[in-house]
Amino acid sequence: MTSRLDSTKSTDNRVVGQWLLLCCALVFAMVVLGGVTRLTGSGLSMVRWQPLSGVIPPISAKAWEVEFQHYQTSPEFKKINRHLLLDEFKTIFYFEYAHRMLGRMIGLAFLLPLLYLVWRRRIRRQLVPRLVVLFILGGLQGLLGWYMVKSGLVDIPRVSPYRLTAHLVAAVAIYGYMFWVALDLLHNRTSEPGVSRVAGMASMAAFMVLVTMLSGGFVAGLKAGHAFNSFPLMAGKWEIGNMRSGQNDRGLALVRLDRLAASGGLEQTLRAGDATVALQLPAWADFELPEAEA
């Protein structure tokens, strides 16, 4: 009897774990599509937030004209895309539409199986709070996405780099938490010698990846990648000179330099005007960084 119960529990855990891995794949696709949406300049093409009615895209010519008129009231159209024609608008609209629809699809792909598995009692009671937290985080991520888009619909046609980075980090956190829960269900924990050490190294590597992704969000949000078109040197040298600018570049060079940070490196202190920034540079980057000019 006990053996049969254990077998049933193992089967249920495998089913739930595989379902969560499928959701992880959808979240990964969501992040990729979000990157494509940003690279194509499509993120501000839908200026209205319609969680329910927004499921159906414009179909008739009149509906497209109305949607295009809404876009024409946005700062992006007035300051950047005044030349845009309706057919070109449709292209960027569909990228953002696909991004939002995939978000809705992920919500359904998570909620419906969750309700079914709970109804069939195939999810352990201790696991339900974790899954509820994941669902709530997913809903909040959708709100955060719209909060990010709103920042680009007022005056400056560019989303806040802080909100953009928060949106990215939230997606990574949801993916990581869901992946961890799935692996916890699919694989039994072990206390074999050396496992804890490997786990510690993996955690450190994951943390460095997260930090790199976080800085990548700021690089994208500030368009700091346009400041220098060479790698790893900037303008052919390590020195970034005086970072005070009359154009309020918000430390683009600092953001780019931060992308070079890696584990096992050397801590350096950098001054930019009145600000002091501590950076950890790779061990192979053994050099003195200059202070900003007075």
Tens digit of each residue's pLDDT (9 = 90 or more) over 219-245: 888 777 776 667 767 666 666 555 444
Q: 275 or 130: whose pLDDT is higher?
A: 130
Cβ atoms within 10 Å of 80's Cβ, excluding its own? 14
Of 103-112, 114-123, 282-291, the poorest mean pLDDT is in: 282-291
* Mean pLDDT within 251-259: 54
pLDDT value of residue 212: 86
pLDDT digits (tens, 9 = 90+) for 155-203: 888 899 899 999 999 999 999 999 999 998 988 665 555 566 777 788 8
What are the domain boundaries of the chain?
A: 2-189, 192-294
pLDDT value of residue 149: 93
Task: Check pLDDT > 90 for residue 269.
Answer: no
What residues form DSSP beta bridges with 281? 266
Task: Check pLDDT > 50 for residue 273.
Answer: no
Looking at every residue in the chain, the average pLDDT score rounds to: 79
pLDDT value of residue 271: 47
Task: Check pLDDT > 70 for residue 215.
Answer: yes
Q: What percent of the chain has pLDDT over 90?
A: 49
pLDDT value of residue 294: 39
In whole angstroms, give the CA distance from residue 213 to residue 28.
14
What are the CA-CA distances from residue 211 to residues 101, 154, 202, 240 (Å)? Answer: 29, 29, 14, 22
pLDDT value of residue 235: 66
pLDDT value of residue 239: 61
Q: Which of 249, 167, 182 lies closest to 216 in space, CA to CA?
A: 167
pLDDT value of residue 255: 57
pLDDT band, very low/low/confident/very high, at 130 (cuts 50, 70, 90) = very high
Q: Which of 175, 187, 154, 164 lies closest to 255 in space, CA to CA?
A: 164
pLDDT value of residue 4: 54
pLDDT digits (tens, 9 = 90+) for 274-291: 445 454 444 433 434 444
pLDDT band, very low/low/confident/very high, at 3 (cuts 50, 70, 90) = low
Is the distance from CB of 270 to CB of 279 less than 8 angstroms? Answer: yes
pTM for the model: 0.76
Is the distance from CB of 45 to CB of 71 less than 8 angstroms? Answer: yes
pLDDT value of residue 277: 47
Q: 135 or 259: whose pLDDT is higher?
A: 135
pLDDT value of residue 7: 60
Of 86-90, 187-191, 268-272, the poorest mean pLDDT is in: 268-272
What residues form DSSP beta bridges with 276? 271
pLDDT digits (tens, 9 = 90+) for 11-68: 888 999 999 999 999 999 999 999 999 999 999 999 998 888 889 999 999 999 999 9
